[in-house]
Chains A and B, each alone.
Chain A
């Protein structure tokens, strides 16, 4: 059974970089699209981006200038870095697995982690 678990600081100061890690157990990082999604309080789901083939990425254009997704296959982890954060980046952040082949869908999710941007 595949399991995903987000980890990282729950509080980040404005203008700093938000860093989260998703640890994948029960499966390999190959083949699939490893994805970050967020939900600001009271708002809907927002797709942030994904990484696949151990390095190829696709990002939400509205966040692209600030986002980096990377993968560490030796630890079976992938990570999110979001720079120059503001209060608008306060959200529950989810990692998820996109099947990477048709029909594409998110079949496994982490439970989500709340990140608050505040001084």
Chain B
């Protein structure tokens, strides 16, 4: 199976901060990575697909990038509605896997 090692598991940040979350894949997976935002009691929401493509309707402060097997989600200026848990997700393999999640909390 392809493992997605996500870090950090949690972080505290203030409104306006730049936030970076990273996932490292256990093997080369090209750009087969998506990022989701998950809030309690709701279904996860797609933010970024194919490593760096912004899903329609998602604010431009969210961006994704790839360097080899490292994938990064960046929130350029954290907003109050961005406090949530974020997951990376690989679709290179027919056995899909998620990262462990990063909980973004208010500082």
Chain A interfacial positions (CB closer than 8 Å to B): 35, 44-47, 50, 58-61, 94, 96, 98, 102-107, 109-112
The residue that A61 contacts in the complex, of B87, B95, B100, with Cβ under 8 A, is B95
Supposing A103-B50, A105-B34 touch, asked if A111 and B91 sit within 8 A by C-beta, the answer is no
Asked if B98 and A94 sit within 8 Å, CB to CB, the answer is no
The residue that A105 contacts in the complex, of B42, B46, B95, B97, with Cβ under 8 A, is B46
Asked if B98 and A46 sit within 8 Å, CB to CB, the answer is yes
> Distance (Å) between the CB of A34 and the closest chain B CB?
13
Specify which chain A residues have a CB less than 8 angstroms from the CB of B89 in the assembled complex.
45, 105-106
In the assembled complex, the Cα of A61 lies from the Cα of B46 at a distance in Å of 25
Asked if B95 and A94 sit within 8 Å, CB to CB, the answer is no
CB 8 Å contact bits of B92-107 with A (1 = contact, 0 = none): 0011111111000000
Asked if B43 and A103 sit within 8 Å, CB to CB, the answer is no
In the assembled complex, the Cα of A50 lies from the Cα of B97 at a distance in Å of 12
Asked if B49 and A45 sit within 8 Å, CB to CB, the answer is no
Chain B interfacial positions (CB closer than 8 Å to A): 1, 31-32, 34, 36, 38, 42-44, 46, 49-50, 53, 85, 87, 89, 91, 94-101
Could you show 5 A-B contacts with beta carbons less than 8 Å apart?
A: A45-B44, A50-B96, A103-B34, A103-B49, A106-B36
> Distance (Å) between the CB of A3 and the closest chain B CB?
11
| Given A46-B98, A104-B34, 18 other A-B residues pairs in contact with their CB atoms under 8 A | A44-B87, A47-B96, A58-B95, A61-B1, A61-B95, A98-B96, A103-B31, A103-B34, A104-B32, A105-B34, A105-B46, A105-B50, A105-B89, A107-B46, A109-B44, A110-B43, A111-B42, A111-B43
Closest to B87 in A: A45
In the assembled complex, the Cα of A61 lies from the Cα of B99 at a distance in Å of 16
Specify which chain B residues have a CB less than 8 angstroms from the CB of A105 in the assembled complex.
34, 46, 49-50, 89, 91
